[in-house]
Amino acid sequence: MSVNMDRKGTFRGQPVGYSLNEYQSGAIAINLQIQVEEAWEDETSTWVDWRAAGVMAEGKSFVVKKDGTLNEKVIETLVQHLDWDGNFTSVLSQTWNPTHCQFQTESNIYKDIETFQISWISGYDETPSGGQAAVGNERARVLQSLHGSKIRALTGNLKRNTTEPTPAPEAFVPGPPPETTGGTVVASKPPVDPDIPF
């Protein structure tokens, strides 16, 4: 007896069931059921065996959107990571044999009921936690050869197109103190302006 998925996380498992659904909106989805075999533990960065728990995860992969256009990213995921041949007939005839995969689950609330459904599917051996991995020296050299020249060109353009910074205004230098006569400040006369009537 299987237990429904009850949490958000990253898992690995074997698809054990699938079906094809068409919605009134025009969207078409492949519904998947995946038997969980392992769960990713972030704290220890290890896979934990879940086979004995008998947990089943479910989710919908919308291959056609409501507007009738193909959801290319989802189709690419099914083809690359679950070995789908791209034919609805293989889903209907149950001749498709999906491969083991890695997947993520997210909370989904419908009519005040929370379930945890498959939100994304990836390759079985991909690095969990959003696919991030530390880059080592060898990989850095590969990335440099792939992207280095373009990044340098972009950096050079940005530096050339940057306007020169506006120089700071000169600091105010106060003039000499007013003249004094016996401790009394002697006020200077203001300049005469012929346009002032008084």
Q: Looking at residue 157, what is its pLDDT?
A: 72
Q: What is the β-pairing status of strands 3-4 and 55-64?
A: parallel
pTM (2 d.p.): 0.64
Q: Looking at residue 198, what is its pLDDT?
A: 44
Q: What is the β-pairing status of strands 9-22 and 180-181?
A: unpaired
The domains located in the chain, with CATH, are 3-131 (2.40.50)
Q: Looking at residue 141, what is its pLDDT?
A: 74
Q: How far is CA 33 from CA 7, 98, 160, in A?
A: 16, 11, 55
Strand partners, 117: 106
User: Residue ranges of the chain with pLDDT lower than 70?
Assistant: 1, 129-140, 155, 159, 162-198
Q: How far is CA 28 from CA 22, 85, 87, 91, 163, in A?
A: 5, 16, 13, 12, 52
* Inter-residue contact 25 to 77 (CB < 8 Å): no
Q: Looking at residue 149, what is its pLDDT?
A: 80
